[in-house]
Structure 1
Amino acid sequence: MENPGSSIISAFGAGSGVNFIQLADQLSDATFAFQRSSLETRNQGLEARISSASLLRNALTQLSSALGDRVRNGELSPRANVANPAVVDVTTTSGVVPRGSYSLEVSQLADSQLLISQPYASGDDLVGEGSLRIRFGEMAGASFTEDTGQDALDIAVDATDTVETLAAKISAASEGSLQAYVAQGTGGAQLVIKGSDGATNGFVIEATSTAPTPSATPGDLTYLAWQPTTDAGQLRQSAADALYTLDTVQYASNSNTVTGLPEGLSFDLKGTNVGAPTTISFSNDTSAITDVMNDFLVALNDLAALLAEEATPLGGALGNDPAARELRRDLARLTSEIVMPSAGPGEPSTLADLGLKTTREGRFELDTERLNETLAASPQAAAAMFTTGPFGLFATIDRLTRDNTTRSDPGSLSGSVLRYEAQVERNSEKLDRIAEQQENLRERLTRDLVAAERRISASQSTLSFLEQQIEAWNGSN
């Protein structure tokens, strides 16, 4: 920044010849240069630590997340073997390892009530003004017992309603519990109403017509009324529960999808097998466990390599970071940590039992021979280590991740990131104050030096005048 007055003075050959504005800038900059450089260098180091700690934290989180996905997707769960696969599909609950075998006999599948109305000439035919009331319950021959736990449907029918519009009203009013549509078959247009699976989801239709003399013919709403006592072939399928026995214990379900069974089993019933029970047994997919261990080994070594690079004592951004040291200790004791405290004698209880071991250089290796021995001797116990329960491989890595990334723990990686960020913020505030102090000093120096320049310029003018007078005096003599 150049002072205009100083430039004018210099242009006319006056002044000291010194650029006082530039001098003020240089003096103020030099005064605070060391403090500013020191803080900027410190912030660069802190930013590097933040980056390194964040990299380690993210790598650890990604390892835990990827392992959790592998465990939760069911590929490591015991495989269900059904002797007669036409009867049932079996799934298991993540975190539960079924054992042994089961006998299943299905005598009846769950079904829904299917009601077909008497025919109309067209779906555009008017059905008649009035109201429909549909009540839900259980049929037993010609009798009907209402299920008071289900609200009845009351549907207002306008004089302009057709078979088509009434079907839409029924579906909408039931919110999915009933499916209604018009079928245009060889016998004409018929209203088809299908309920939900389960014996208590049967239904009757009560119609109230506004006609002075209801005729129960097309165009009068009572034509659509239905009761089991007056059925004339409209009922094509009755609502029913699924009935089956599991190890001879009788069960009933209002759906063919059955959950909440022993040992976390779920059934999708597909067919009946009366008098011919089928067997359900389980086997562990040892190859899937081996695949997961190999993938886990690669990811674990990637994490260990990153930790070694970022936290090396000489030159590493996190060489003196306590969280990095704690993570190194956690990884060092990972193979020997008890991850299955309830394991029985001879059953695997550590990751070393799954073949995981560490080298002298701090890397991980997989002892496939030991892994195969464990899978052969204790296949079920080994499979139990690959669940989402409170113990096992995933629980161990998840706990390690949470311990090393919890923001509230100052000794974790997240705690280090927060601490370094706070230091960067404090240093940035100091830099702002230094910039303000430097600007104040520059302005003060500029004022003082420009004032000095003016005084020097005035002195030079006086000296020049005196010199001229002296020369004039000397000339006259």
Structure 2
Amino acid sequence: MALTATGLGSGLDISNIVSVLVDAEKVPKETIFNKTEASIKAKVSAVGTLKSQLSTFQDALAKLQDGDTLNQRKVTTGDSAYFTVSTTKSAQAGSYNIEVEQLAKPHKLGAAFSADKTQAVGEGSLDLSIGGNTFTVAINAADTLETIASKVNSDTDNTGVSASIVTSDAGSRIVFSSNTAGTDSQVAITATDSSGTGLNDMFGSANLTTLQTAQNSIMYIDGQKVTSQTNSVEGAISGVTIDVTKADINEKSILTIANDNDAVKETVIGFVDAYNNLMGAIDQLSSYDIDTKKAGALQGDSIIRSLESQLRNLVSQRVDVDGTETALYSIGISTDRYGKMTVDDAKLTSAINSDMDLVEGLFATETTGLANKLDDLANNYVKTGGLIDSRNTTYTKATSRLDDQREAFTLKMEQLEARLSKQFNAMDLIVASLNQQSSGLLDRLNSLPGVVRNS
């Protein structure tokens, strides 16, 4: 009869013995797997942190890469409701009296009224022109006001006319509007009937009504008249764009433009802070803590050692600005032996106030400016397909290999457990059989004549 439970023949706890033997081989290997997995996850997290810090650093660099953004102007208009102002770095400091006489308006023409906008108008064509450009719309006999307006708006040759239907107490009519303001963009319409007079009756020059006269914007800068086709006046003051929003010739506003050196200084200090934060993150990710005996996830990793080396090299470089060499230390920014920057506030303020062009050139020169060079370096790491993406691909492959190794090892341990269980169970059956034979032999020996049993 087969045994139904292991260990009955030998009296051994076979299940526990097999478990201990399997664990003796499995536990050390699983410990290695877990340690490798934790290391990969730590590295993935670390390069994610590095990428985030580099992106933040790039945000700070973006404010230094463009001369217009760096070399800022402070604009005050006395809370004027009549205009708003934007400037470039070429705007010179100064104060101006501004008066707005009128706003630019687009031309609008209204066709004759129709009692029913769903009725057909006529057959022929409409020639529409604006700014010297003309396009033709064919009108079919069954076309209604809505159809005609739709044809005008969707015509591929339409160079700037919008048609809409307005319904009032007098009936429905098509209103033709120029998409741009100013006297150079007036709308003209010529109707041609192929049968009857329906189109001319509605769109002929005698039946068109001017709903809004085209006009230019007019303003005065220190008493000098400035006319523009639009409500945006650019170049009347060098480096300044004035957008007029309201007109009243009797209201005078004062526009003041000044160099915004405080904003420039804040931008430069923002760069220093971002750089120090990046270097701090690099140090944390790559250092070794003697007290805790713990290493950063990227300690000794080439990706971070190379980045740190290139950053230190770039910020120590001199830049040629129109024949004058300058560097960060020239404007009061120094770097210590740990790679961290410090700012000499007085020296930075003096540099910005005395030679802003030199400060701008140091950072924003297209190919040699520090901000552009540093951004190129950072981009090599964070861009799609860059060094960090490449490293993450390596980690993904390593994780996949680890999963395969785990799966193979799990199968190996299952096979080992099955083999040991089979061997010990076979041994148990043999021991049970031997015990049974021994017991039977003893019984027969005891039953032989002359055998004296000890009591």
Q: Please indicate the TM-score interval, normalised by the length of the shorter structure.
A: 0.7 to 0.9
Structure 1 segment 102-251 matched on structure 2, within 5 A: 112-119=106-113, 122=115, 126=119, 128-138=121-131, 147=133, 151-156=135-140, 158=142, 161=144, 170-171=152-153, 177-182=161-166, 184=168, 191-197=174-180, 199=184, 202-208=187-193, 210-211=195-196, 214=197, 220-227=198-205, 231=206, 234-235=209-210
Q: CA deviation at 1:452?
A: 1.7
TM-score, length of structure 2 as denominator length = 0.74
Structure 1 segment 405-420 matched on structure 2, within 5 A: 405=382, 412-420=387-395
The counterpart of 2:90, out of the listed 98, 102, 107, is 98
Q: Give me the whole-angstrom Cα distance separating, in 2, the residues matched to 1:6 and 1:289.
A: 89
Q: What is the aligned partner in structure 1 of residue 428 from structure 2?
A: 453
Letter of the structure 1 residue corresponding to residue 189 of structure 2:
V
Letter of the structure 2 residue corresponding to residue 443 of structure 1:
A
Alignment: residue pair count:
429
Q: CA deviation at 1:401?
A: 0.9
The counterpart of 2:299, out of the listed 305, 316, 319, is 319
Q: Give me the whole-angstrom Cα distance separating, in 2, the residues matched to 1:157 and 1:254.
A: 39
374 and 22 in structure 1: CA distance in 2 versus 1, 3 angstrom threshold:
same
**1:15 aligns to what SS in structure 2?**
coil
More displaced 10-residue stretch of structure 1: 18-27 or 302-311: 18-27
Matched, 1:28 2:11: no
Q: What is the aligned partner in structure 1 of residue 5 from structure 2?
A: 8
Letter of the structure 2 residue corresponding to residue 321 of structure 1:
D
Render the CA deviation track for 1:146-203: whole Å, top value 9, x for unaligned.
Answer: 63xx5423344637x4x67765665566697314232637x77654321222636633
C-alpha contact 1:408 1:415 (8 A) present in aligned 2: yes
Structure 1 segment 44-55 matched on structure 2, within 5 A: 44-55=38-49
Q: CA deviation at 1:65?
A: 3.0
Q: Give me the whole-angstrom Cα distance separating, in 2, the residues matched to 1:239 and 1:153.
A: 23
Matched, 1:442 2:413: no
123 and 260 in structure 1: CA distance in 2 versus 1, 3 angstrom threshold:
farther
The counterpart of 1:341, out of the listed 316, 320, 327, is 320
C-alpha contact 2:362 2:369 (8 A) present in aligned 1: yes
TM-score, length of structure 1 as denominator length = 0.71
More displaced 10-residue stretch of structure 1: 28-37 or 108-117: 108-117
The counterpart of 1:332, out of the listed 305, 312, 316, is 312
Letter of the structure 2 residue corresponding to residue 225 of structure 1:
F
**1:473 aligns to what SS in structure 2?**
coil
334 and 462 in structure 1: CA distance in 2 versus 1, 3 angstrom threshold:
same
C-alpha contact 2:64 2:371 (8 A) present in aligned 1: no
Letter of the structure 2 residue corresponding to residue 53 of structure 1:
V
72 and 134 in structure 1: CA distance in 2 versus 1, 3 angstrom threshold:
farther
Q: CA deviation at 1:299?
A: 2.7
**2:334 aligns to what SS in structure 1?**
strand
Letter of the structure 2 residue corresponding to residue 28 of structure 1:
V
Q: CA deviation at 1:61?
A: 1.6
Gaps of 5+ in 2: 220-225, 248-253
Q: Give me the whole-angstrom Cα distance separating, in 2, the residues matched to 1:41 and 1:82.
A: 62
Letter of the structure 2 residue corresponding to residue 375 of structure 1:
I
Q: CA deviation at 1:439?
A: 1.8
**2:129 aligns to what SS in structure 1?**
strand
Structure 1 segment 322-471 matched on structure 2, within 5 A: 322-338=302-318, 340-345=319-324, 349-383=326-360, 389-392=366-369, 394-405=371-382, 412-471=387-446
Q: Give me the whole-angstrom Cα distance separating, in 1, the residues matched to 2:235 and 2:24.
A: 77
Q: CA deviation at 1:312?
A: 1.0
Structure 1 segment 46-65 matched on structure 2, within 5 A: 46-65=40-59
Q: Give me the whole-angstrom Cα distance separating, in 1, the residues matched to 2:256 and 2:15.
A: 92
C-alpha contact 1:356 1:367 (8 A) present in aligned 2: yes
Q: CA deviation at 1:286?
A: 1.0
Q: What is the aligned partner in structure 2 of residue 304 from structure 1?
A: 279
C-alpha contact 1:123 1:164 (8 A) present in aligned 2: no
Render the CA deviation track for 1:277-313: whole Å, top value 9, x for unaligned.
Answer: xx99964311111222233333332222222222114
**1:178 aligns to what SS in structure 2?**
strand
Q: CA deviation at 1:465?
A: 0.8
C-alpha contact 1:132 1:157 (8 A) present in aligned 2: no
Q: Give me the whole-angstrom Cα distance separating, in 2, the residues matched to 1:58 and 1:399.
A: 16
Q: CA deviation at 1:320?
A: 1.2
Relative to its length, the structure with more strand (as a share) is: 2
More displaced 10-residue stretch of structure 1: 73-82 or 460-469: 73-82
357 and 193 in structure 1: CA distance in 2 versus 1, 3 angstrom threshold:
same
Render the CA deviation track for 1:8-40: whole Å, top value 9, x for unaligned.
Answer: 365xxx400123343233323323443332343
Q: Give me the whole-angstrom Cα distance separating, in 2, the residues matched to 1:443 and 1:193.
A: 89
**1:128 aligns to what SS in structure 2?**
coil
Letter of the structure 2 residue corresponding to residue 337 of structure 1:
Q
Render the CA deviation track for 1:104-131: whole Å, top value 9, x for unaligned.
Answer: 9x999865332123455x5658463435
73 and 155 in structure 1: CA distance in 2 versus 1, 3 angstrom threshold:
farther
Render the CA deviation track for 1:219-248: whole Å, top value 9, x for unaligned.
Answer: x44311234xxx47724556688999xxxx
**1:135 aligns to what SS in structure 2?**
strand
Q: Aligned-pair RMSD on alpha carbons?
A: 4.8
> Identity rate of aligned residues, in percent?
19
C-alpha contact 1:164 1:182 (8 A) present in aligned 2: no
386 and 262 in structure 1: CA distance in 2 versus 1, 3 angstrom threshold:
farther
Q: CA deviation at 1:323?
A: 2.0
**2:315 aligns to what SS in structure 1?**
coil
435 and 387 in structure 1: CA distance in 2 versus 1, 3 angstrom threshold:
same
